[in-house]
Amino acid sequence: MAAARYDHSGEQAAQDPIRLLAIRDTPLSLDEVFKAAGDDAAGGTALFVGTVRNHDGGADVDALGYSCHPSAEAELRRVAEKVVAEHPVRALAAVHRVGDLVVGDLAVVVAVSCPHRAEAFAACRQLIDDLKHEVPIWKHQTFSDGTDEWVGA
């Protein structure tokens, strides 16, 4: 197997581009995720932050809780590995919150660094989209009219 050729010493392959993956019941930190996704060889870092909003489907949201399957972190890793395999990722980080949240709380933060901005945007978009569709995390919303709804279950 031939060694990879790099035009600049700063372009050496990252040891493990998956720097941070977690599902937590404590508040999330933008700084932690951004720092974890940093890489000196990256020219672009894309960050996505999902927050709890005060409405959904035309109804006012009073309360929201997230829960997950025990396999959720393993599925999150699988999703991250797929993104790394399909994009020139230098560093990647993703954290999702579970438990009871209030309007304005951070629910999910993901970041991806790549050599160029277009690659970072594409990888970050795939990461959040695949996380939302494939990782078994469910949202329970309670509306101001007393009704409730499970999303993703």
pLDDT in tens, 41-93: 999 999 999 999 999 989 999 889 999 999 999 999 999 999 999 999 999 99
Secondary structure tally for the chain: helices H, strands E: 3, 9
What pTM was estimated for this model as a whole? 0.89
CA distance 29 to 109: 8
DSSP notation for 33-85: HHHHT--TT-SEEEEEEEE--SEETTEEEEEEEEEE-TTHHHHHHHHHHHHHH
Q: Three-state SS for 19? A: strand
At residue 128, does pLDDT exceed 60? yes
What pLDDT, on the 0 to 100 scale, is given for residue 11? 58
At residue 112, does pLDDT exceed 60? yes
Size of the chain in residues: 153
